[in-house]
Amino acid sequence: MSKVALIGSGSWGTALAQLLARKGFDAVMWTRRQELADEVNTRHTNITYLSDAALDARVSATTSMAEAFEGAIAAVFVTPSRFLRATVEAAVPFIHPDLPVVICSKGVEGQSGLLANQMMAEVLGEPERIAVLSGPTHAEEVVFGVPSGAVCACEDEATATFFRDLFATDTFRTYTSDDVVGVELCAAFKNVIAIAVGVSYGMGYGDNTAAMIITRGLAEMSRMVVACGGTALTCMGLAGAGDMVVTCMSQHSRNRRFGQYYLAQGKTLTDFEADTHMVVEGAQAARSLAVLQQRHGVDLPLTDAVRKIIWEGSDPIIEARVLVDRPLKDEIYGM
């Protein structure tokens, strides 16, 4: 029996731990909270994040990074993006130079504009052993074995294939890609657009509006991916269109719920996080993507609107009017 270290104990980390445990791995989650570690180890639940799931006996938790990494054949980072650098830096003493690492966090580092794999390579070195995993994979469904699919991206084919095979099950289909930039940016973008879709529903608009926002969001995503050196076609795959659709349309999506039931109702990010104890990755991405937007001169009107509503207190009605009043142009541009 082999061991996998999962650095993070939220809903996605717990769902991946359950998936790996059902394949016969010892899935050890690192958490900052002793009470959560005790709950996982004694009650085999994670009530805060996945209240309905009974965890496999092979899922365990620890507050010790040394214990989590000891004897592991791979490390899975599922820390929220804004805490990722600090977490990786804390893990450096325990990560063997040859240990394969996969990032499941979704976002761009704030001031630097680095993608998660770029930041991790800066801290750890050996970028060829660092992969990313993304796709339409709500934890609430993956944990129960609902059929899902994801893509493992890495510049090194062997590492991408290693993680493809590590995660693959009868109900979790995995694919490989060498477009790390594209997969990373798709993962960040879809959360922003999901907030916009949520706001539109919260304002009383319908499915036509949501479909328009999703497809225009894909256009924004594609422009940024191409500007940063990725491949536009990646935006039509699991990490792009697949994840965009499920994140925008599912009630499992915290980003959509945040837009629909909080921003559109005049509530704030602080209100949401206090109520749910969850991080809204799209809120951070809306701000951090501005660094890349300015660097590459990419037109991102939906992202701009979401950022202004969240971080500048702009009225959603005003931002909707700004979008409607934009000059008409070709559907596909900037690529």
190 is catalytic: yes
Alpha helices, H only, 125-179: 139-142, 157-167
10 Å CB burial of residue 123 (0-12, 13-18, 19+) is middle
- Helix, coil or strand: residue 50: strand
Nearest to 6 by CA among 89, 83, 91: 91
Say if residues 221 and 244 touch (Cβ distance below 8 Å). yes
- What sign results for the dihedral spanned by CA atoms 90, 12, 137, 71? positive
Q: Quote the crossing angle between the two packed helices 281-296 and 180-202, to the nearest 10°.
A: 120
Catalytic position from the list 23, 106, 190, 267? 190
Comparing CA positions, the residue from 59, 304, 74, 75 lying closest to residue 195 is 304
Within 8 A by CB and 6+ apart from 273, the residues are 279, 280
Q: Which runs of E-coded beta strand occur in the chain?
A: 3-7, 26-30, 59-62, 72-77, 101-103, 130-134, 148-153, 172-177
Q: Cα(325)–Cα(330) distance, rounded to whole angstroms? A: 15
How many Å apart are CA 157 and CA 5, to the nearest integer? 22
Report, as residue numbers or ranges, the catalytic residues.
190
